[in-house]
Structure formats: C-alpha cells, structure tokens
A and B are shown apart, each in its own frame.
Chain A
Amino acid sequence: MVQIPSDDDPNGTIATATSSRRSLLTVAAGALGVGLAASVLGPALVFLGHPLEHDATAGDGEFIPAGPIGQLGGSVPVKVDLFADRVDAWNRVVQVKVGSAWVLQQGGELVALSTVCPHLGCGVDFDAGANKFYCACHKSYFALDGAVESGPSPRALDRLDVEKGEKLVSIRYVRFKVGIEAKEPIA
C-alpha cells in the first residue's frame, strides 16, 4: 500500500498501520462479490446447459406408414416423405414431415435408404440417367444398394427398417451421426 500523508498523520504512519486491514477488507469485499456473481451465474449456466442432458425434440424411432405396397417396391427408387407427430421444445406438431427415404426393390427385398447423406447431412438425390444415388453437395455417388461408389462419404447410405403390413409399407425413421464410418443413431 502507498503511504498516504494527511493532516492528522503527516508522515503517513497511521495509514501504513491500517493498510493491511484495508486491503484485507478489500479482498473480503471482492470475495463476496465473486460469490454473488457465482450465485446467479451458476444456476444460469445449468439453465442454459439443459439441452446437453435433455432432448428438446422427440418423434424418431417409430414405424411410420410410408405408402401402399402396390406403389412401392419397383426397381426404380421412389422417394417417400414420412410424416409423424413431433415434439419440438414447447411445441407438439401433428403430422409434420420428419424425414424421407428412397424405397426400392433390391435382391428380392424391399429396401429403404435414408435421404440424409452420411458425409455431412445433405439431401441425397437419384440420378435416373446414371441409375445412381448422388449427393450434390460434395459429389458422393452411391450404387442402388447404397454402397459408396465415389466421393467423400465415409459409409454407405443408411438403411432404415422396413415393415410390410397387409396393405401398407412402414418405415422406422432414424437419424444417424454423419461424417463417421460407423452407422450410429443420434441419441
């Protein structure tokens, strides 16, 4: 502490004597201030961090009716949009489009491929001329069974579970993590 001369104390000795008390008080005040800030910032951060532990959206993982059996299952892929009820934070939206899939007959079975590119999540299109799937964003090409033919995609197109009912085909819509080799659902 700097010695502060005053009228009562021309040499500043009193100030020196009290300076340790003064700085102690200042430090105590500072500590209280930090505690005050933490008492609000702590809960505020927990509040902001809520989505780390909780999902704000729900609606994945159910079998969704995709269309009548007769209209699906040709050798040329058909894009079907899947509609389901979805919760988005405070909203519950009834019958909103949650995703889509390419559906085709492959080796005697009905196959549904997610339209989400496993590379970085763009929409995968079908090139009827080349008879291939392709992603226009980064030029990944996929064979009809979903296997990567060229481009940066780390894995084949993601297959979705298909269920054949009496009249309807249903697809379980799931989103998968992009950019990695393994097919891992987004939790």
Chain B
Amino acid sequence: MSMRSFLDERIGLGSGWRAFTHRPWPGGPALRHAVFAALVFLFVQQAVLGIVLAAYYSPSASDAWASTAYLNDQVALGWFIRGLHDHGASVFVVLAVLHVAALAFAGAYRRPRELMWLAAIAVLGLALAEGFTGNPLPWDEKGFWAIQVELGIAEQTPGGGAIKRLIQGGSALGNLTVLRLFVLHVFVLPLALLGLLAFIARQRRRHGPAAAADARSHTYAPGQLMIDVLAMTVTSAIVATMTMSAHGTELFAPADPTSGFQARPEWYFLFLYKLRHYFEGSLEPIATVVIPGAAVTFLAAAPVIDALAGRIGRITVLAGLSTMLAGAGLLTAIAMADDRGDESYGKALEQANKESVRARNLAREGVDPRGGGAVYWNDPEYKVKMLYTEHCKNCHALDGTGGGEAPDLTDYASTEWLSALIRDPNDPRFFGKTKHDTMEAYGPDKLTEEQLADTVAFLESMMDTEGKMLDTDAIDRGKVLWNDELDCNNCHEIEPGKDNEGPNLYAHGTTSWVNRVIRDSGAKDLFGEHAQMPKFADKLSDAEISSLAAFVVAQRDR
C-alpha cells in the first residue's frame, strides 16, 4: 500500500485535495478572487512568524523592550523575522481592505452571501485590532505613546473608561498592559481571525466566491489555483522587499513615561488621527465614534440597501465605499504631508532615531532586569553620575544639589572656583564645614584682583595645560607672589612627593591628583590627619575611582 493511499484511506488526504481542486468555480478564474487566497496565506505567515518571535519575546513591561532589542539586534536573522511580521501586518491591512472592496464590486454582499460580507468587514476590523495590540508590544517610545494616546481616546467614548481599565489592567500602563495586549494579539484575535477566515472559506465553497453570469462549468484548479498561488507569491515578495529595503523595522528607545516623544500612530491609523484634528473638544466623539461607527454600519447594511433600492442601492453601496476609501486615503496623505512639512517633528524624529541607536548599542551588553529604561545605566557617563550620587554627593554638592559638608565641586578647579577659594577658604562653599581651618582668607585688602588673577594663573599652570593659551607673564608674577609675598609655599609644596601642613598642590586639579585624593585624602602629602573623607581605595575599584576623578575634573571644562 502506498503512503498516499494509506493516508487517503485514513484522513482522506488525496480525496480532500481532489475535492478542493475540482470544486466548481462559477465564472472561471479571476484575479479579484485571489485576494482571499493572499489574505489566508499572509495570515498563516504572520502566525508562523508570531510563534517564532514568541520564542524570544518576553511580555512584561520590564522585559519587553530588552527582549525585542535582543531578538532584533543579536539573534540570527532576528531583524528579518521581526521585519517580515511588522511589514506583513501592514500588507494584511491592505489586503483586508482590498478583500472588502473586491466583494463589494462583485456584488458579493447580496443573498446568499450576506454573512460572508459581514465576516469580511469583521476581518478588516480584526486586522486593525491586531495592529492596535501588536504595535505597543516592543514597549519602545513609539509603542508606549501610541497605546497611551489610543487608550486616552477610548476613554472619551461612552463606556470607554471601563475598556481602558480592562486593557490597561488598572489605572496605569504597566506589566498587565503588556501582558493583556499580548494575550489579545497572540491568542484572542488570531483565533477569531482564524474562525472568520474559515467561515468565509466555507461560504465560498458553498455559494462560490461571487455570482457569475458565465454558466460554463469551471473548476478551481488549475486556473484559479495558479492565480491564487501567484497572488500569494506576489504578496510574499512585497513583504520581503519591504523588509529588505527597510532592513527590518524600527525599534525606538525604551518607553520613557517622562519623555516628550512625538507620538504618531501606525500609517494605517493615520486617517483616524487626522480626522480627530477637525473635531476638537466636545466634538471629538464625532471623529472617534460617530463617523467610524456610521461607516461600519453603512457597510454592514449594504445587503439591505441593495435589496431595498435595487440598482440605485448598488450604486449607493459602491459610491459609499469609494468615498470612504478616498476619504481615508486623502486624510492619510494630508497627515503624512503635514509631518513632512513639520520641522519640529522632523527634528524630534531625528533625535528619536539617535536615541534608538544609542539605546540599542548599550543594550548589547545586556539590560538590567529592572526595565528597558535601565539600558542607559550601561552608559559610562550615567554610571559615573550614579557613583557620584552614591558615594560623593552626600558631602560634595554638585550643581545645586546634595552635600554641604565638604567643598562644592560645581565648576571644580575653574578660574572662578580657585579665585573664590583663595578669597575665603573658610566659606561653606569650600572648607567652612570641615576641620581644615588653618588657611587664612586673602581678601581684597591682602590681595588685589590683579594679584589674585596672577596667583590663579600660576595654580592653573600646574594643571593639565595642553591646548590652553597661557599668559606666561602672569604665571611668572603668580610664582613670585606664591613664593615670596603670600608665602603660600610655607604650607603648600609644589614638588611631587613633599609633604607640608597643607596639601601638596603639584598637579592639583588633574585626574591623577583627584584620583589620589579619592583613594586616600589622608595621605601625608595631601590633607593629612585632618582628612575627613573616607578612603575610597578600599571601597571602589580602580576603574571606578578613575572614572570619578575624570568626572570631577571635567566639571572645570563644562
């Protein structure tokens, strides 16, 4: 017994295929009948892609972005798979619209195909719902703000408050929101779509795809079969080409509830977005409920309109549908043109793309489990700020926050900072709240402004002077003041290694000097026994201390 007859006897494979290909096809092969085949094909492709994406995606507010960035940027062909799924969604919406239009122009809403027609409208609705629930899943800036705004719109409609709360899983966006959108997107809506597509397929077998004037007997294969497969091939090629040319699809920076991201919906929602602009304030429900509701009701009523008004009814249905499509197309075009002409939106988008590149590069190291936004903790600049906040800020104020017990490090070692320090070292800004009180203040009576400037110039000459214009005369005058007139050298050494009452100022204000202070400010040639600052050599790693030193020194050059 051959495998074929074995399977045929048990599950009717061969006879099922024969019944499928040899079924009558009234009117013969036609391109418009192939839209449904392409729709079914794309549904299956989306399902397969969705299943494999789910093998890497983690539906929680803290994991969603990082797992999407991982599967998109690190897993083999991840960009391609995710791109196919995203562009496939766009093409699916287009096909769902074409499907409704093809049925309308074939008059396939008339008896006995009314339910098939309603199912086709529902398929379009579910296609949009898949977009609505799928686009926020990466929990990037675009997805986050899209769902935020869309749920806000839903709230304005009657009963919308409850819908928003149900989808959101409470009063704010979070883990439950992502999970609920995920459940809708991968279980509820696809099952409903599968049911509807199966229903339409059965209806087509029962009644034929549309009424046909041509009474000759045709079968599905090979004519329509070939056209269907070609339509699927073209669909697949379009999705693949879109994916290749965009190199996958966009993934913005992780959701940040405090950012000013300029939210725009996916292109197939743009017409609704634009429509709202014409109905502001209390009129808004006209755009969000009344017009869309009227459009859907009109389409659903097509069988009735046609039956009541005959030829005029048919014209009404087609004119109505054409108006809707033209209107939606026009609104979409206006919205796109507006954005293209909007300079601030262009800049914001450019900025968002830069943020995206930065965040995704940082994500390659792995993201802290506390959430997508934690990706920025990988940034060395952020890390050092956090170190400063954790270990330094309690005593050393910076930019107006923290501290008060030890010198304020805002503009540390800048000309202004050094000048003010010499004028009054015991000011609370400097050593006023520490045990260091032996240095005398050099007020204007002891040191003129010019002399102060010369002294500071001399001090600055001991710092990293590469690429700086130096006033050598001022430095020389400062050196004389330092050694002879002010007797600074009585307490402060300026040769490496020597110690004295005050800190040795050789190379002070450089990273190496600050590094030594952080390691052990109580070293003999630094602040000695009066030092109150903890010895960070025991607490922080060498790399951490170096990064902090560089950070402190960088305050001067801001």
Residues of chain A whose beta carbon lies under 8 Å from any beta carbon of chain B: 6, 8, 21-23, 25-26, 28-29, 32-33, 35-36, 39-41, 43-44, 46-50, 53-54, 87-94
Most buried by B among A44, A48, A88: A44
Q: Are B52 and A90 in contact (CB under 8 A)?
A: no
A47 x B81 contact (CB < 8 A):
yes
* Residues of chain A with a CB closer than 8 A to B223's CB: 25
- Whether A50 touches B76, Cβ cut-off 8 Å, given contacts A33-B232, A40-B45, is yes
Determine whether the beta carbon of A93 is less than 8 Å from that of B369.
yes
- Considering the chains assembled together, what is the distance between the CA atoms of A35 and B55 in angstroms? 24
With A26-B21, A46-B77, A92-B368: A36-B67 Cβ-Cβ less than 8 Å: no
Q: Give bound CA distance, A39 to B226, whole Å.
A: 19
* Interface assignment of B41: CB less than 8 Å from any CB of chain A: yes
With known contacts A26-B225, A36-B233, A41-B48, A92–B365 Cβ distance under 8 A? yes
Contact assessment for A47 and B368 in the assembled complex, using a CB-CB cutoff below 8 Å: no
B230 touches A32 (CB 8 A): yes
Interface string of B129-153 (1 = CB under 8 A from A): 0000000000000000000000000
Known: A28-B226, A36-B233, A89-B70. 16 other contacts (CB 8 A): A29-B229, A40-B49, A40-B84, A44-B52, A44-B81, A46-B76, A47-B80, A49-B76, A87-B366, A90-B67, A90-B70, A91-B63, A92-B365, A92-B367, A92-B378, A93-B369
Q: Please measure, in the bound complex, the distance between the C-alpha atom of A33 and the C-alpha atom of B233, giving whole angstroms.
A: 8
Tell me which residues across on chain A come within 8 A of B229, comparing CB atoms. Answer: 29, 32-33, 36
CB distance from B92 to the nearest CB of A (A): 14
Most chain B CB neighbours (cut-off 10 Å) among A23, A39, A90: A90
Task: Judge if B196 is at the interface, Cβ distance under 8 Å.
Answer: no
B-to-A contact residues, CB < 8 Å: 21, 41, 45, 48-49, 52, 55-56, 58, 63, 66-67, 69-70, 75-78, 80-81, 84, 216-217, 221-223, 225-226, 228-230, 232-233, 236, 240, 363, 365-369, 378
A39: B residues at CB distance < 8 A: 236, 240
Say how far A28's CB is from chain B's closest CB, in angstroms.
7
Given contacts A33-B229, A50-B75, contact A91 B367 (CB under 8 A): yes
Write 28 A-B pairs (CB below 8 A) sorted by A numbering. A6-B217, A22-B222, A25-B221, A25-B222, A25-B223, A29-B226, A29-B228, A29-B229, A32-B229, A32-B230, A32-B232, A35-B233, A36-B41, A36-B236, A39-B240, A40-B48, A43-B84, A46-B77, A47-B78, A50-B76, A88-B366, A89-B67, A90-B70, A91-B368, A92-B366, A92-B367, A92-B368, A93-B369
Residues of chain A within 8 A of B21, CB atoms compared: 26
A25 to B75, alpha carbons, bound, how many Å?
39
Contact, CB under 8 Å: B222 / A90: no
Which residue of B is nearest A45, CB measured? B52
Chain B residues positioned under 8 Å from A6 (CB to CB): 217
A83 to B56, CA, bound (A): 26
Rounded to whole Å, the gap between the CB of B115 and the closest CB of chain A is 29
Determine the residue in chain B with the shortest Cβ distance to A53.
Answer: B76
Q: Which residues of A contact B63 (CB under 8 A)?
A: 90-91
Which residues on B sit within 8 Å (CB–CB) of A40?
Answer: 45, 48-49, 84, 236
> Chain A contact residues: over half helix, strand or loop, or mixed?
helix
Interface centre among B77, B232, B368 (most CB of A within 10 A): B77
Contacts of B55 in A (CB 8 A): 48
Q: Kindly report which residue of chain A lies nearest to residue B57, judged by CB atoms.
A: A90
Which residues in A have their C-beta under 8 angstroms from that of B363? Answer: 90
- State whether A44 and B49 are in contact (beta carbons under 8 Å apart), knowing that A26-B21, A26-B222, A50-B75 are contacts in the complex: yes
Q: Return chain A residues, CB-CB under 8 Å to B80.
A: 43, 47
* A2 CB, min distance to chain B CBs, angstroms: 9
A47 & B367 in contact (Cβ 8 Å cutoff): no
B88 to chain A, nearest CB (A): 10
* Closest A-B pairs by Cβ, 3 of them: A92-B366, A25-B222, A90-B70
Task: List residues of chain B with CB within 8 A of the CB of A48.
Answer: 52, 55
- The CA-CA distance from A47 to B48 in the complex, in Å, is 12
Cross-chain contact A32 with B67 (CB below 8 angstroms): no
On whether the beta carbons of A36 and B232 are closer than 8 Å, the reply is yes
Contacts A44-B49, A44-B52, A89-B70; A25 near B226 (Cβ below 8 A): yes
**Chain A contacts of B368 at CB under 8 A?**
91-94
Q: Within the assembled complex, what's the spacing in Å between the Cα atoms of A61 and B49?
A: 36
- Contacts A25-B221, A47-B75, A50-B75; A90 near B66 (Cβ below 8 A): yes
- A29 in contact with B222 given A40-B45, A90-B67, A93-B369 (CB within 8 Å): yes
CB distance from A40 to the nearest CB of B (A): 5
Q: Once the chains are docked, how many angstroms separate the CA of A90 from the CA of B58? A: 10
A28 and chain B: residue at smallest CB distance? B226
Residue B81 contacts which of A28, A29, A43 (CB distance < 8 angstroms)?
A43
Assess the A32–B222 pair: CB atoms within 8 A. no
B225 touches which one: A8, A25, A44, A87 (CB < 8 A)?
A25
The answer to whether B366 and A47 touch across the interface, beta carbons within 8 angstroms, is no
Assembly CA distance A53 to B75 (angstroms): 10
Contacts of A50 in B (CB 8 A): 75-76, 78
Given that A40-B49, A90-B69, A91-B368 are contacting pairs, would A32 and B233 also be in contact in the complex, using a CB cutoff of 8 Å?
A: yes
Contact A47 B77 (CB under 8 A): yes
Nearest opposing residue in chain B for A24, CB measure: B222
Complex-state Cα separation, A33 to B70, whole angstroms: 32
Contact of A22 among B56, B76, B221 (CB under 8 A): B221
- B56 proximity list for chain A (CB < 8 A): 89
- Give min CB distance, A25 to chain B, whole Å: 3
Closest-CB distance, B221 to chain A (whole angstroms): 5
Query: With A and B bound together, what is the CA distance between A49 and B58 in angstroms?
Result: 18
Closest to A33 in B: B229
- Complex Cα spacing A55 to B345, Å: 41
